[in-house]
Amino acid sequence: MTSRVWVTGFGGFMGSHLVDLLERNGHQVLGTYFPPTAKVGRTAVRGKVGECDVRDRDKVRSLVEEFRPEKIYHLAAQSYPVVSWADPWYTLETNVIGTTNIFEAVKAVGVQCRILNACSSAEYGMVREDDVPVKEGRVLRPLHPYGVSKVSQELLAVQYFENFGIESVSVRIFNTTGPGKVNDVCSEFTKRLVEIEKGIDISGTLRVGNLDARRAITDVRDVIRAFDLALDLATPGEVYNLSGSTVYRIQEIVEMLRGMVDRDFEVKQDPALMRPTDEPIIFGDSTKFKKETGWREEIPLDVTLRDMLDYWRKAL
């Protein structure tokens, strides 16, 4: 069945992949973005596209009144932990007040609507080795304002469900990558290697940071499929982990990439890429989500990495 679907944060990495999927499935899509943090480089959207700063409560309300969404995928956020230390105000206003504006608009206009609330593994903070794969019930001790904002976002959703029956599903998203991603380890490694391949970087050396950390990394296309399942099959008012089920040491990613590029390369640790604190392992238990929705990852990491290399080969 097709629906009217609003995607906030359409200009971001996940938003653009999600809109592709929704349009392929025949939904009527409204994609909104906010120019200072997201440039919409694509024009292929058949649905409507517009600007919306989710901090602007009147704008949010008028969009809900006009478009009357049946589903909202709320992805708009200030999502960089480091930025959140430098500017906690902007982070909290966008993520917490922005989310409040969305739920308030749905409540005031009275539309029948389900909301996908994009939350984060950052809510857990530092997780001990014997706590992984981390379950939803573990205490939340976020290490930065971004993580705190996502805890708040989640609690707001629960509160709107309990008091006003507004149906939402909150997903704590773990490391996610894929074509179009910037700044994470897979994106930076693939980009640097394509620069070496193309002779943009003549050093022949891949600069790396901490190779001992371990991460469960999911392909963005598997994650957005999960978003779709979440709104159709998960329980309103609930919170779910959405994590990859295979944990990779970052060193293993370097080795996987070695067989995928046309040039041999050296690996050198760059002190500038080492972090003052770095979670040794990030890995969530997604059993609850899998049981309720039947979701399974379909794209193995080597396929994701190959697609990311191809992305950079075209982009650079």
Ligand X SMILES: Nc1nc2c(ncn2[C@@H]2O[C@H](COP(=O)(O)OP(=O)(O)O[C@H]3O[C@H](CO)[C@@H](O)[C@H](O)[C@@H]3O)[C@@H](O)[C@H]2O)c(=O)[nH]1
Write out the residues near ligand X by the rule CB under 6 A: 81, 120-122, 173-175, 183-185, 188, 208-210, 213, 215, 250, 273, 275, 278, 282
Q: Which is nearer to ligand X, 266 or 278 (CB)?
A: 278
Cα(117)–Cα(153) distance, integer angstroms: 8
Cα(141)–Cα(123) distance, integer angstroms: 6
Total Cβ atoms within 10 A of residue 141: 13
Cα(148)–Cα(140) distance, integer angstroms: 9
Q: How far is the CB of 285 from ligand X (least distance, A)?
A: 15
Q: How far is the CB of 47 from ligand X (least distance, A)?
A: 27
Cα(118)–Cα(170) distance, integer angstroms: 6
Q: How far is the CB of 211 from ligand X (least distance, A)?
A: 6
Q: How far is the CB of 60 from ligand X (least distance, A)?
A: 25
Q: How far is the CB of 106 from ligand X (least distance, A)?
A: 26
Contact 283, 134 (CB under 8 A): yes
Cα(235)–Cα(118) distance, integer angstroms: 15
Cα(188)–Cα(31) distance, integer angstroms: 27
Cα(72)–Cα(10) distance, integer angstroms: 11
The SS3 assignment for 256 reads helix
Q: Which is nearer to ligand X, 108 or 303 (CB)?
A: 303
Q: How far is the CB of 250 from ligand X (least distance, A)?
A: 5
Q: How far is the CB of 316 from ligand X (least distance, A)?
A: 17
Q: Which is nearer to ligand X, 169 or 282 (CB)?
A: 282
Angle at 115 (CA atoms; ends 112, 121), nearest 5 degrees: 165
Cα(248)–Cα(252) distance, integer angstroms: 6
Q: Which is nearer to ligand X, 49 or 250 (CB)?
A: 250
Q: Which is nearer to ligand X, 220 or 234 (CB)?
A: 220
Q: Helical H runs in the chain?
A: 13-24, 57-67, 81-86, 88-92, 98-109, 145-164, 185-197, 220-233, 250-258, 287-293, 301-315
Q: Which is nearer to ligand X, 8 or 121 (CB)?
A: 121
Contact 228, 197 (CB under 8 A): no
Q: Which is nearer to ligand X, 214 or 225 (CB)?
A: 214
